[in-house]
Amino acid sequence: MTNAPVPPDYARFDDLLSDEERAVRDRVRSFVNEEALPLVADHYERGAYPAHLTPRLAELGVLHHSEPVVDGLIAHELERADAGLRSFVSVHVHLAGSAIRFFGSEEQQGRYLPAMARGELIGAFSLTEPGHGSDPGAMETVARPAPGGYVLYGHKRWATNATIAGLVVVWAKLDGEVRGFLVDRGTPGFRAEQIERKLSFRMSVSSELFFEECFIPESQLLPGAKGLGAPLRCLSEARYGIVWGVAGAAEACFEEALRYSLHREQFGRPIGGFQLTQEKLADMYAAVVQSKLLALHLGRLKERGQLHHTSVSLGKRTNVRHSLSVARTARTVLGAHGITADTVSLRHAANLETEMTYEGTDEVHALALGRHLTGLDAFRG
């Protein structure tokens, strides 16, 4: 395939970044191009997370939280490879890690966060249950007080990373209030099973969790997490990363389609010379530029402590929609070639179907925006 010129950066996105931000972005991009991308297609097909990349992610310094725009750029670059790779980091750092950073005791922070940053301990975060996804406040998992701690009973589903994690942050009701519990791997009464047969997020580990008379010592309760607002605050951190990540997936799809359109000839000329293809390229390019600018704007707001969770809903919903549309359009440019694992857009499109749903569905974020705009709560019909 010919090397198309790098698409001109009309929005001058790079000028909006500091030297340090560009340096981190370039470092993660090199890792993605040289070490992650070559193995993505194979691992995706096999439905396996490439665990040997974890120490490299730690060396790159992406297994702990950074400044908001740096975090965003990392998410963007990782998802250029695959949403599963971005999600591994996102759940580890921004869900499990944030729960401990925001709500853990000093002792808990010292015990878990350094090991997590070194990649020696992987984190997972378990809120969703088989019967309660969009409405986690209705969760049935409970913690009952017992001498020296609590006993967990319940059934959770869809926790990313959990079967490979050393720690799962589990949300359960204690006397009717949602609380967070740090559940170490191997705790008696706790079992995690991998969810198989996924058609999306195949390079990510998704798990089902069972708690049967699972004793958790008092020292494993997150003291600062009281009520559903606690897990929702962590989710807002991770959703912010999705705003950036999906823009990376879209960029990868667009660039592949552009390259292919200049190389592939039909009717005696490159398909990129047809007006219909150019309209697709123009639409995809516009969506990528808009998504990146929105992500960066939200990142700058976050740096100033001005990022409202409704703006995160706006960003997550808007950018996932943009990116899914880009991935599907890019796939059409690739023709039949686009349905193979030698190309990226169909894989990204399949991943984006998950991203439409997880960390708040498209509909739930519409309801959050609707409530903000009207002052009327439509969550319960």
Ligand X SMILES: Cc1cc2nc3c(=O)[nH]c(=O)nc-3n(C[C@H](O)[C@H](O)[C@H](O)COP(=O)(O)OP(=O)(O)OC[C@H]3O[C@@H](n4cnc5c(N)ncnc54)[C@H](O)[C@@H]3O)c2cc1C
Where in the sequence numbering do the catalytic residues fall?
A: 359
List 109, 290, 325, 361, residue binding ligand X (CB under 6 A): 361
Which of 163, 220 has the CB closer to ligand X? 163
CA gap 310, 144 in Å, rounded: 34
List 126, 141, 311, 329, residue binding ligand X (CB under 6 A): 126
Measure CA 198 to chain center. Answer: 17
User: In the window 168-207, what residues touch ligand X (CB under 6 A)?
Assistant: 201, 204, 206
Q: How far is the CB of 158 from ligand X (least distance, A)?
A: 3
364 binds ligand X per the rule CB under 6 A: yes
Which of 126, 277 has the CB closer to ligand X? 126
Q: Quick one: which segment of 21-29, 42-50, 99-107, 152-160 binds ligand X (CB under 6 A)?
A: 152-160
Rg (CA), the chain: 21
313 binds ligand X per the rule CB under 6 A: no
CA gap 136, 141 in Å, rounded: 10
List 159, 209, 243, 330, residue binding ligand X (CB under 6 A): 159
DSSP secondary structure letter of residue 272: G
358 binds ligand X per the rule CB under 6 A: yes
Using CB atoms, what's the residue nearest to ligand X? Answer: 133
CA gap 123, 109 in Å, rounded: 13
Q: Are 189 and 213 in contact (CB under 8 A)?
A: yes
Of 197, 110, 214, nearest in space to 156 by CA: 214
Is the alpha carbon torsion for 131, 133, 138, 141 positive or negative?
positive
CA gap 65, 301 in Å, rounded: 17
Element (H, E) at 182: strand 177-184
Is the alpha carbon torsion for 357, 307, 315, 31 positive or negative?
negative
Q: Quick one: which segment of 63-71, 121-129, 251-259, 278-286 binds ligand X (CB under 6 A)?
A: 121-129
List 49, 125, 190, 244, residue binding ligand X (CB under 6 A): 125
242 binds ligand X per the rule CB under 6 A: no
- Sort residue 148 into left (φ over 0), alpha (ψ -120 to 50) or beta: left
Q: Quick one: which segment of 24-32, 155-163, 172-180, 209-217 binds ligand X (CB under 6 A)?
A: 155-163
379 binds ligand X per the rule CB under 6 A: yes
Where does this chain bind ligand X (CB under 6 A)?
91, 125-128, 133-134, 158-160, 201, 204, 206, 354, 357-359, 361, 363-364, 367, 379
